[in-house]
Amino acid sequence: MPTAASLSDRLLSGDRRALARAISLVENDDPAGWALVREVYPHTGKARVVGITGAPGAGKSTLVGAMTKLRREAGKSVGVLSIDPSSPFTHGAILGDRIRLTDHFLDPGVFIRSMANRGALGGLSEASLQAALLMDAAGRDDIYLETVGVGQAEVDIIDHADTVLLVLNPGGGDSIQALKAGIMEIPDVICINKADHPLTDTMVREIRGVLSLAPSGGWPVPIVRTEAMRGEGVAELLAKLDEHRAYIEGEGTLSERRRRNLRNEIMALAVARMRREMEARLADDAEFDRLVDEVAERRLDPASAAAQLLGDDPVDP
């Protein structure tokens, strides 16, 4: 079995098997994984990290496949992290969509990984950040973080990215509703995939309407039409992602954005750590069980119970 030192050397040299093993260590919350991230962290920060979000079925994986193909043709190495939050019901990721990425499975310049485990650290968001850092350290030029859904947890994952791409479909209006309702923050680039659909023009107008309500100034969010299955519009999409990258680099906002993201990530990691410590402490705690009984019997309210748990003043929650 390789030592952590040799694993980090192999990882830094771009070894795919070392990268796969390192991500597994992090996903399984193995202390060796965290030690490894610490060791290779000084070598991170070079990759371009693009977060890709949108409803299930929008064609994100097909699009990522098409983007990967073009980046490979341009001589770039690519890492893809597909994030599938799982529930106690399935205990794992369904690879379904990921099959569309199989074209690239044999290409050593492409590393594809699906993550589903919430991780003992308590957050898929935290584990996916660590995995992205490992891909970065392994020298991937481009990292695509692909995530399903439009909820808060998904937004947290996407916050690791330098550039956020939202993939929409004409007709399927869930994500645009999420944008309208403000569940989702305004992305940096919007892609309408399956743009051969007759409702595409309507959707473009609708999106422009939503964007016109956003605080103006700064980067004008481009709307790109693609048909990922046939590779159409993908080169233009990549050009827009590059433009956004050049824009945030030129404005100095890349380092600002990364600093803000890292700040949030440190806090999220600290909170996750506190939560884990608390959950471990309370798992078999008779005193806590008694407290829950009191709450269940309506003798003590949940917020006061939480305050008691922390030994705080119960009045101000």
Question: With binding defined as CB under 8 A, does residue 41 bind a copy of itself?
Answer: yes
Q: Which of 44, 141, 204, 229 binds a copy of itself (CB under 8 A)?
A: 44
Identify the DSSP state of 148: E
Amino acid type, 57:
G
Q: Smallest distance, Å, CB 25 to a copy of itself?
A: 12
**304 phi and psi angles, rounded to 5 deg:** -65, -35
Question: With binding defined as CB under 8 A, does residue 4 bind a copy of itself?
Answer: no
Q: To which residue do tokens 């796969």 refer?
A: 20
Question: With binding defined as CB under 8 A, does residue 201 bind a copy of itself?
Answer: no
Question: With binding defined as CB under 8 A, does residue 92 bind a copy of itself?
Answer: yes
Q: Smallest distance, Å, CB 106 to a copy of itself?
A: 26
Binding mask 121-140 for a copy of itself (x = CB under 8 A): x-------xx--x-------
Question: With binding defined as CB under 8 A, does residue 56 bind a copy of itself?
Answer: yes
Rank residues 29 and 232 by Cβ distance to a copy of itself and give the closer one: 29
Binding mask 15-34 for a copy of itself (x = CB under 8 A): --------------x-x--x
Q: Which of residues 207-236 bind a copy of itself (CB under 8 A)?
A: 214-215
Q: Smallest distance, Å, CB 46 to a copy of itself?
A: 10
Q: Smallest distance, Å, CB 74 to a copy of itself?
A: 26
Longest dimension (CA), the chain: 67
Q: Which residues pair with 68 in a beta bridge?
A: none
Record the tokens describing residue 57, joined without a space.
Answer: 């079925």
Q: Smallest distance, Å, CB 211 to a copy of itself?
A: 10
Nearest CA-CA partner of 67 in 134, 175, 164, 144: 144
Segment near a copy of itself (CB under 8 A); pick from 11-19, 189-197, 199-207, 290-298: 290-298
Question: With binding defined as CB under 8 A, does residue 53 bind a copy of itself?
Answer: no
Integer angstrom CA distances of residue 87 from 102, 118, 214: 25, 9, 34
Record the tokens describing residue 280, joined without a space.
Answer: 């471990």
Question: With binding defined as CB under 8 A, does residue 86 bind a copy of itself?
Answer: yes
Q: How far is CA 206 from the centre of its chain?
A: 26
Please say whether the beta carbons of 170 and 194 come within 8 A: yes
Q: Which of residues 229-288 bind a copy of itself (CB under 8 A)?
A: 255, 258-259, 262-263, 265-267, 269-271, 273-275, 278-279, 282
Rank residues 85 and 233 by Cβ distance to a copy of itself and give the closer one: 85
Q: Which of 13, 102, 182, 239 binds a copy of itself (CB under 8 A)?
A: 182
First and final C-alpha spacing in the chain: 50
Number of residues that bind a copy of itself (CB under 8 A): 92
**What stretches of 96-196 show up as alpha helix (H) in DSSP?**
124-137, 152-158, 174-181
Integer angstrom CA distances of residue 232 from 10, 66, 190, 254, 255: 37, 9, 15, 29, 32
Q: Smallest distance, Å, CB 73 to a copy of itself?
A: 30
For residue 252, give the H/E element and its range: none
Beta-carbon contacts of residue 186 (< 8 Å; ≥ 6 apart): 179, 211, 214, 221
Question: With binding defined as CB under 8 A, does residue 290 bind a copy of itself?
Answer: no
Segment near a copy of itself (CB under 8 A); pick from 11-19, 66-74, 194-202, 303-311: 303-311
Please say whether the beta carbons of 166 and 72 come within 8 A: no
